[in-house]
Structures are given as C-alpha cells and as structure tokens.
C-alpha cells in the first residue's frame, strides 16, 4: 500500500512551524493511544504513522530532504531505518505526566530507542548512508558525464579496526546502566526509560580507549570521488555508491553514498520521458507552400526537415531516434518532436501588402467564418 504524505498524516501544511507540528502530533497520538483504543488496528496504524511523520518533520535536516525529494530523500538516512530516539526524548515535553505510559507503548511498537536496541552491548551494524547533491547541465544528463564529489565521512580507525579499544583490551559493561543501555527514572505511577547518557545506549564501554580515535572507533576523513552519471538520467534521480557512507559502529560495514542529481533546464529543449520537444517558427509562406528547414538537434548537428504544404500552426513533426538515450539501454533513444509555430509578419511593405491582397482575392477569404467544432481540432 502506498505511503501517505507526512504533512497529510499530521493534518498540517508545508509551512507549518515545528511547534505546531508537535501540537498536531500530540493530538493524534493521544486520540489513537492503544490504551484508549484496545484491539483497534486502525488506531494502532494511525499512531505509528503519526510517530513516523513526526520523527521526520521534527528534524530540520530530514524535513528539508523530504520537502525536496519526498520519501526517497529520507530513506537513506540512519541506514535506511527511522531513528525514533528523537521522538522518545521528546515524550516528556510533548505529553507531560503521561510520558511514561507513552514510553511503554513506544517500547513495544518501535523498540524504545529506535535504531538503538536495549539489553546489552550491541554488535557491529551497518553505518548510515550519506546524501550528496549535484547539479548538471541538460546535455550532460542526456549523454552522461563524470562529476567530482568531495565530502567528509567517518571511516574505521586503522589502529583499532573500528573497535575503539587499544590492543589487548576490550569492552566492559556500563556502570551507569548495568549493560542494559537504558536508565529509568520514576515519575509518580510511571517509569520513564531513556538512553543511557554514559554509554549512549550501547550497554558497554571501552576499557582502554584507542589513542588514535580516542575510543570512538572511527575517524573523520575528507573523501574525493569521481562519480559517473549515466546517459539519460532524469532530474531527481539518485546514484548509489556502495560502501562510501559512514563507517558502521563497532566495526560494522559502511553505509552508501547517495548522489541526487538535479538537471538545469535547457534554453529551448524540453524533456518528457525519453522524448525531446522544441518549437520552431516558420513563415506563413513556408507553411502554405511547404519546403525544408534546417533544425539543430541535441547532438549539436543540424538535420533537414520537410515541412508539408498547408501545414497548420502547432503541427508536430517527429525525428525518430533523436531523443534521450535509455539509462539501461544506451543503444536505444527516444524521439525528437518539433512543434511548428506559424509566424504572422507584423510589418509589411507596400509591395508585400499588395501581394497579400492579391492572394486574399484569389483564395476568396471567408468574411463570416464559423466556429470550429472541438472534434475537428
């Protein structure tokens, strides 16, 4: 089933403030709380949808990516998973004294800390993917190109292999949370769980930190790549570069680099799928008599195109195979369509006027033209 728009789920507009988004989420979450709607799958679905929408729209970076690219803009963040830890931290602010009850529901639905699981030390898992935006010319998108990409990412420390521990040492259970990754505090009847601030929810700590990375297991590195943009790519599409994202925690594999492509518009070509469209002006005499015109293609050459006599304004002429290459089949191309615009001269010499008058007399101009039926257009 297709996912619903996040703004639609919360019932807000795109220019709604963060505070209003929080209010809208609180209203939905309270109304669809499972304790108030026992055995109601529809309410449970609405609760989950609202939480996912709030997780994205309450984060400025994710909201900007979603506004620009939709669901594709946020699917690469947090390793392709939603990080509900930000929602979890906001519960006390959003729900006040009811936060404990909501946190237990949050635990059962989303695993408490989102991507951070509780119950002991975490093993290695995949790193987050990174997003990079490039802008290319229209012709580069048609025929493909290569772009230089420069960005900063975290890489596994060579000294400790990404573990964060110095040679001969390891990890020990966190003394603050006892290895659970969470700490709890009581608030009246409720018990509120939150990520352990000492170990960051991992449940364990490095006993003797690596001197190179100071126990983090990763180091920041400036990365330079030359990315190949395939011929025929459309604006808004992305290219995935495996293994060039953030290093995975605890020695896990790195995420990917997601390169999103924006194509600048052309001065006279427009694209629809793999077909190209342009408009060419012709004189009324050429439209009446017919003839040939020379038209420039996206390839940079000029081809002769036959204009039939009596052609009407807006007529489309097709050049087969002169459009955009197919991304997965470079040997196949779309077509190029030429829309003819018959230009009426704004100024005429006395001789031209006389000739036009003579032509009008010969043709027998209709003084009382009738409207054209829509079926004839």
Flag whether 47 is in a domain. Answer: yes
Determine the pLDDT at residue 312. 93
DSSP state, residue 165: B
CB atoms within 10 A of CB 357: 10
Per-residue pLDDT, 305:
96
Contact 198, 191 (CB under 8 A): no
Does residue 18 fall inside a structural domain?
yes
pLDDT value for 275: 97
Residue 52 is assigned to a structural domain of this protein:
yes
Q: Which residues contact 243 (CB under 8 A, 6 or more apart)?
A: 253, 254, 255, 256
DSSP for 240-283? EETT-SPPBGGGBPP--EEEEEEEPPPSS-EEETTEEEEEEEEE
Of 204, 27, 186, 9, which is closest to residue 97 (Cα–Cα)? 186
Helix, strand or coil, per DSSP, at residue 70: coil
User: Residue 276: beta bridge partners?
Assistant: 271, 336
pLDDT at 280: 96
| Count, residues in the chain | 377
Q: Give CA angle at 265 (262, 270), nearest 5°.
A: 115
pLDDT of residue 291: 95
Within a domain: 319:
yes
Instruction: Write down which residue in 115, 145, 170 finishes a domain.
Output: 115
Total structural domains within the chain: 2
205 is a domain residue = no
Give me the half-sphere count of Cα atoms (radius 13 Å) on the Cβ side of residue 109: 25
The predicted pLDDT at position 98 comes to 47
Give the CATH number, domain containing residue 340.
2.60.260.20
Question: Cα dihedral angle (40, 44, 46, 51), rounded to 10 degrees?
Answer: 160
In sequence order, what are the beta bridge partners of 292? Answer: 306
- Establish if 155 belongs to a structural domain: no
Q: Report residue 188: phi and psi, to 5°.
A: 70, -125
* Separation of alpha carbons 322 and 66, rounded Å: 35
Give which of 159, 178, 144 is closest to 330, Cα–Cα: 144
The CATH code of the domain that includes 45 is 1.10.287.110
Is residue 169 in some structural domain? no
What does the pLDDT read at residue 120? 44
Largest pairwise CA distance in the chain: 104
CA-based nearest residue to 322, from 281, 265, 274, 279: 274
d(CA 55, CA 88): 9
pLDDT of residue 173: 86
> 310: how many CB neighbours lie within 10 A of its CB?
10
**Distance, CA of 57 to CA of 210 (rounded, Å):** 37
Residue 94: closest CA among 33, 29, 40: 29
- Say how many C-beta atoms besides its own lie within 10 A of residue 167's C-beta: 10
Q: What is the DSSP letter of 166?
A: P
Phi, psi of 84 (to 5 degrees): -85, 5
Question: pLDDT by residue for the chain (377 residues), tens digit each?
Answer: 567 889 999 999 989 998 899 899 888 888 887 667 777 888 888 888 888 889 899 888 889 888 887 877 777 565 445 555 455 445 545 554 444 445 445 544 444 444 444 444 456 678 899 999 999 999 999 999 999 999 999 998 888 888 888 887 877 888 888 888 888 776 544 557 788 888 877 788 888 888 888 888 889 999 999 999 999 999 999 999 999 999 987 778 899 999 999 999 999 999 999 999 999 999 999 999 999 999 999 999 999 999 999 999 999 999 999 999 999 887 899 999 999 999 988 888 999 889 888 888 888 877 777 787 777 65
Query: The tokens of 111 are what?
Result: 């695993």
User: CB–CB of 338/280 below 8 Å?
Assistant: yes
Assigned domain for 242 exists: no
Strand-pair partners of 283: 343
Give me the domain span that covers residue 37.
1-115
Residue 350 CA: distances (Å) to CA of 97, 224, 310:
90, 68, 25
* In the chain, beta strands by DSSP E: 130-136, 145-156, 171-173, 182-187, 190-195, 204-206, 218-229, 238-241, 257-263, 270-272, 275-283, 291-296, 302-307, 316-319, 325-326, 329-333, 336-343
């Amino acid at each position: 089933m297709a996912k619903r728009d996040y703004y639609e789920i919360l019932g807000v507009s795109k220019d709604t403030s963060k505070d209003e988004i929080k209010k809208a989420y609180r209203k939905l979450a309270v109304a669809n709380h499972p304790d108030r709607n026992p055995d109601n799958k529809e309410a449970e679905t609405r609760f989950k949808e609202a939480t996912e929408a709030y997780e994205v729209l309450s984060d400025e970076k994710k909201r900007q990516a979603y506004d620009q690219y939709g669901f594709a803009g946020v699917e690469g963040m947090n390793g392709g998973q939603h990080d509900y830890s930000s929602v979890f931290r906001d519960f006390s602010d959003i729900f006040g004294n009811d936060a404990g009850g909501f946190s237990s529901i949050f635990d059962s639905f989303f695993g408490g800390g989102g991507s951070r699981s509780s119950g002991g030390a975490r093993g290695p898992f995949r790193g987050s993917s990174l997003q990079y935006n490039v802008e290319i010319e229209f012709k580069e998108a048609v025929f493909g190109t290569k772009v230089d990409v420069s960005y900063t990412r975290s890489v596994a420390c060579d000294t400790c292999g990404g573990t964060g521990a110095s040679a001969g040492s390891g990890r020990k259970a966190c003394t603050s949370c006892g290895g659970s990754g969470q700490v709890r505090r009581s608030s009246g009847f409720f018990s509120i769980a939150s990520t352990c601030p000492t170990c960051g929810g991992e449940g364990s700590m490095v006993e003797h930190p690596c001197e190179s990375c100071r126990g983090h297991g990763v180091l920041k590195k400036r990365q330079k790549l030359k990315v190949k943009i395939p011929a025929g790519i459309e604006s808004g599409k992305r290219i995935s570069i495996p293994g060039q994202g953030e290093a995975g925690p605890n020695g896990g594999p790195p995420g990917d680099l997601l390169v999103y492509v924006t194509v600048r518009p052309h001065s006279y070509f427009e694209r629809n799928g793999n077909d190209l469209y342009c408009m060419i002006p012709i004189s009324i005499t050429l439209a009446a008599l017919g003839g040939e015109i020379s038209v420039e293609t996206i390839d940079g050459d000029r081809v002769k195109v036959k204009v039939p006599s009596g052609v009407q304004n807006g007529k489309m002429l097709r050049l087969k195979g002169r459009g955009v290459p197919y991304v997965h089949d470079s040997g196949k191309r779309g077509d190029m369509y030429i829309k003819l615009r018959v230009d009426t001269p704004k100024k005429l010499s006395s001789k031209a006027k006389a000739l036009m008058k003579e032509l009008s007399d010969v043709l027998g101009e209709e003084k009382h033209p009738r409207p054209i039926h829509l079926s004839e257009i």
